[in-house]
A and B are shown apart, each in its own frame.
Chain A
Amino acid sequence: MARIELRGLRKQFGGGVVALDRLDLDVASGEFVSLLGPSGCGKTTALRIVAGFELPDEGEVLVDGADVLHLPASRRNMGMVFQSYSLFPNMSAKSNVEYPLRIRRQPRAERDRRARELLGLVGLAKQVDRYPHQLSGGQQQRVALARALAHEPGVLLLDEPLSALDAKVRVQLREEVRRIQLELGITTLYVTHDQEEALSISDRVAVMSEGRVEQVGTPAEVYARPRTAFVASFVGTVNRLEARVVSSVERTVRCGEVVLTVAADVFDHSDGSSVALYLRPEDVGLRPTLNGDGGGGGGGDNGLPGRVRSVTFLGPVTRVGVDCGLGALVADVSSETALGLSLDQPVSVVVDSARLRTLAAS
């Protein structure tokens, strides 16, 4: 399987829109990498440059070390699944899958065998003779995936293939995409703006913003150790708090009236500088305080007095909004714990300082 390298890609469209601004990315052979970012950040543009539908103004695209930019799309040997339905309406599911093989003049029997095998792989063994208008959206995208794989491409490109489908089908189909990718071991570049989707099926996630890659890492890395404010806020939900460094040696910061010790791995801020604290909702603990307003009691291990402001049931967890000495926070607690919480109730807020992230305030 192929290895892809994107080097310093830059693309400016007419009207001065800079879609890509020196984008770099490496995808190892057989790896599944997601391009994750908000609408308009250039994900599709990057993918279309790799596929050969668009030329960059600067930079290069290397496949197994060889520049492919001079090759037309039809000669790049890549398979692509598009965001909008792209099946040929005049051909049955099987003929659609056979199309790349017909172009390559494979014998009829071989084409037939391969198309049936692939349609079986995507779970459509019974629908081989259906036409696109007789298939559901999810089934159409399955056929599109089978077609993209038919000529055994070295690279699989997917541009939000599931965005037109409803939530249940989307979850089911993304797992299948991943299963098939692992089964074939094909190098895959997957575009999505859905962070849950990216985190759940990728080997690595490249978080994009305004035409650049902000951070590349495993889903766990990107989630737990965001390197920029953008990544922290885009991937998952996060509490952001303004703070000032008290002592860089002791790693203490003042946030509101509270002084916190930051136990995170890196801490390179100078005394007195302003920083932003990032804290995931699941890293905030709540304990109901029974004796009402404890005043400055506080309790040990960073426990702070606070009040419940909102309670939202999310299924496995309940998201609780609290006001405390740090400001307004959201905390995810088990729904069992949440049973003991009601609006305006005084609580003790416990912050897991090992999970606190600090970034220089912009």
Chain B
Amino acid sequence: MAAVTVGPPPARRRGRRRRLPAWHVLWIVVAVAYFLVPIVSLVQFSFGGVVNGHSAGFHWYGTVFADPNFRSSFWLSVQIAIETVVLSNLLLIPTTFWIHLRLPRLRPVMDFVSVLPFVVPPIVLIVGLIPFLRLFTFLYSRPEVLAFIYVVFALPFLYRSLDAGLRAINLRTLAEASANCGGSTWSTLVRVVLPNLRSAVIGGSFLTVAIAMGEFTISSLLSFNTFPVYLFNIGQTTGNEAAALSVISLLLTWALMVSLYLVGRGGRTTAQVAATR
């Protein structure tokens, strides 16, 4: 029964851990530089160039905000992102809930389906989707069609997130307890399950927003002037302005991240929920 301890006694080990080996430090520096250098250069470039004999300063930022196309394309992307989030949650929350509760045998099938958008290249997907979407003429010419397509791209992220969230709660017992109290399936979903899936929904939705806000290929192919398309077009003409635009979009993304984090922290986290089981 006696456990055999292998390796140096704890005291010596602790002593050794105190100093970081040189190559660890190097590794960290390289990793940080890898992420920081492009961002720093981007910021620098956004303040660069000479305008009317003076250094540019915030000139390019002013140009960006003055451009009506900036606001319209950004707003369009935000709208599409919101539509995508709403649509994919409406589709996936009840589906995942039902599969976990009543059709657990279908879980491997869903696991497989949910990785398909990864496996199939977007260009193949869109070539296949266009003839299908053309059937819905009223939709095809409107930018909302993008939301319907992005739902497919968001599927793996949102589904995985919801799946993990549902695994973390004792769904079957909670659903049975709710039914025993007289609750319908609907009230079980809305009053019991959803509040406990809060962080999963927020996490998955965040990735969905990131996808919808950043997607270029398809919106460009279907010639909608979304934010990434606008960004690309500016980049073709004025480099400094495009850099300023990128910095703005980075800041907006971070702001979004922080606000979602704050909203998520307002509720109880999945970890806490799991701990009560």
Question: Which positions in A face B, CB cutoff 8 Å?
Answer: 51-53, 72-75, 77-80, 82, 84-90, 99-100, 102-104, 131-133, 144, 147-148, 150-151
CA distance A150 to B267 in the complex (A): 27
B123 interface residue, CB < 8 Å from A? no
Cβ B184 vs Cβ A74 within 8 A: yes
CA distance A150 to B169 in the complex (A): 24
Cβ B174 vs Cβ A73 within 8 A: no
B202 to chain A, nearest CB (A): 14
B181 to chain A, nearest CB (A): 4
CA distance A104 to B42 in the complex (A): 60
What residues of A have a CB within 8 angstroms of the CB of B191 in the complex?
88, 99, 102
Pick from A84, A99, A132: contact of B183, CB below 8 A. Answer: A99
Cβ B182 vs Cβ A104 within 8 A: yes
Cβ B181 vs Cβ A90 within 8 A: no
B249 interface residue, CB < 8 Å from A? no
B237 interface residue, CB < 8 Å from A? no
CA distance A99 to B276 in the complex (A): 19
Cβ A82 vs Cβ B169 within 8 A: no
Cβ A85 vs Cβ B277 within 8 A: yes
What residues of A have a CB within 8 angstroms of the CB of B192 in the complex?
88, 90
A108 to chain B, nearest CB (A): 15
CA distance A87 to B277 in the complex (A): 9
What residues of A have a CB within 8 angstroms of the CB of B267 in the complex?
90
Cβ A86 vs Cβ B174 within 8 A: yes
Cβ A103 vs Cβ B273 within 8 A: no
What residues of A have a CB within 8 angstroms of the CB of B173 in the complex?
82, 84-86
Cβ B276 vs Cβ A100 within 8 A: no
Cβ A88 vs Cβ B174 within 8 A: yes
CA distance A75 to B268 in the complex (A): 31
A300 to chain B, nearest CB (A): 52
A-B contact pairs, 24 of them (CB 8 A): A53-B179, A74-B179, A80-B176, A80-B177, A82-B177, A84-B173, A84-B277, A85-B173, A85-B276, A87-B177, A87-B276, A88-B196, A89-B169, A89-B272, A89-B273, A90-B192, A90-B267, A99-B181, A99-B183, A100-B182, A100-B183, A103-B182, A131-B268, A148-B180
Q: A90-B268, A102-B191 are in contact. List 11 more A-B contacts (CB 8 A).
A: A73-B179, A73-B180, A74-B179, A82-B173, A84-B170, A86-B170, A88-B174, A88-B177, A88-B196, A89-B273, A103-B183
A152 to chain B, nearest CB (A): 12
What residues of A have a CB within 8 angstroms of the CB of B273 in the complex?
89-90, 133
Within 8 A of A (CB), among B147-197: 169-170, 173-174, 176-184, 187, 191-192, 195-196
Cβ A133 vs Cβ B180 within 8 A: no
Find the residue from B173, B179, B195, B277 having the highest chain A CB count within 10 A: B179
B127 interface residue, CB < 8 Å from A? no
B119 interface residue, CB < 8 Å from A? no
B275 interface residue, CB < 8 Å from A? yes
Cβ B181 vs Cβ A100 within 8 A: yes
B183 to chain A, nearest CB (A): 5
Q: Which residue of A lies closest to B275 (CB)?
A: A133
CA distance A85 to B178 in the complex (A): 13
What residues of A have a CB within 8 angstroms of the CB of B179 in the complex?
52-53, 72-74
